Amino acid sequence: MRNCITFTLLSALTVTAWAQQNAVNSTSTAPASTTSATSEREPLASPRPKDFWDGDDPNVVNLIEHPFATKRYVQKLVSPIRDRVTELEQITSETASQTKDVDARAKRGIQLASEKTSLADQHASDASGKAQLAQTAANTASSRVGAVERTVNNLDQYKGTAQTEIRFHPGQTVLSKSAKDALDQMADPLKGQQSYIIEVRGFSPGQGQAAIRSSQRMADSVVRYLVLNHDIPVFRIYVVGMGNAPVASEDTTTRRASGGRVEVTLKKNDVETLAATNQPTPTQDQQAPPK
């Protein structure tokens, strides 16, 4: 009688488990056919069993042991989670390694860019300094060219700086003591100087060629004294025998020569003075002492 009851109970439990398994399978396979995978990895299995047996063979032993949390049952549930945790750790390690690699490359790129920028700044500074030196040289050259142009333009601009009049007795060409002193006073400062000429004009009373020849002889005596006694170059002396030519006086009237005389005029064009005054002044950069 007892065995009959046990058999009946086991039969009822088996039928119930079989019905539950069919119901779970019918409900779980329907959406699986319409749902597609959205990720590369399979989702973790639900902790709720898909059927009553949960993969176990339907028999009496598993029927008795199944409701209890055995070690093998726990391992079966925990094993997928452990695998996913291990996989997550591997992914995290790979991501950290990739992040370090990207960070190192970014730092190298930033350092290289900084070095390139510093080099470019240095080149720009050198170029600016060279441009400034070139501008200074150009300004200096322009100033010197302007000074040279002004000097060249003034080469033939002679100005009278001193004039001496030498008197002669009628019919004589010999220089007196006072005439020599006057010529010495004018010629002594000319030693070693440049950019000057001496104009000698002789005047003599009389008419025509006779007066011209007489005035020429008096002018030649003055020239002879300057060349022999003061080493005045002949090319700096211009001699003209004026004869009895009219001479303009201070009151704007003309007068004839009343006696033998020679006018000696010293003229300079101030080239040396102009060259000294036209020297370019040093710029602020040239005046500053080197650091």
Phi, then psi, of 7 in degrees rounded to 5: -65, -40
Q: What single-letter DSSP state applies at residue 282? A: P
Euclidean distance between CA atoms 195 and 268, whole angstroms: 6
pLDDT bracket for residue 36 (50, 70, 90): very low
Domains and CATH numbers, the chain: 159-276 (3.30.1330.60)
Report residue 125's pLDDT band, with 50, 70 and 90 as the boundaries: very high
Which residues lie closer than 8 Å to 278 by C-beta, 6 or more apart?
Answer: 143, 146, 147, 150, 151
3-state helix, strand, coil in the chain (%, to 5): 60, 15, 25
User: What residues contact 157, with CB distance under 8 A and at least 6 apart?
Assistant: 269
What's this model's pTM, rounded to 2 decimal places? Answer: 0.43
CB atoms within 10 A of CB 215: 27
Among 45-54, 86-95, 170-179, the range scoring the smallest mean pLDDT is 45-54
pLDDT band at 62 (very low <50, low <70, confident <90, very high): low
Range with the poorest average pLDDT among 2-6, 188-192, 226-230, 236-240: 2-6
CA distance 42 to 44: 6
Report the C-alpha gap between 89 and 276 in whole angstroms.
89
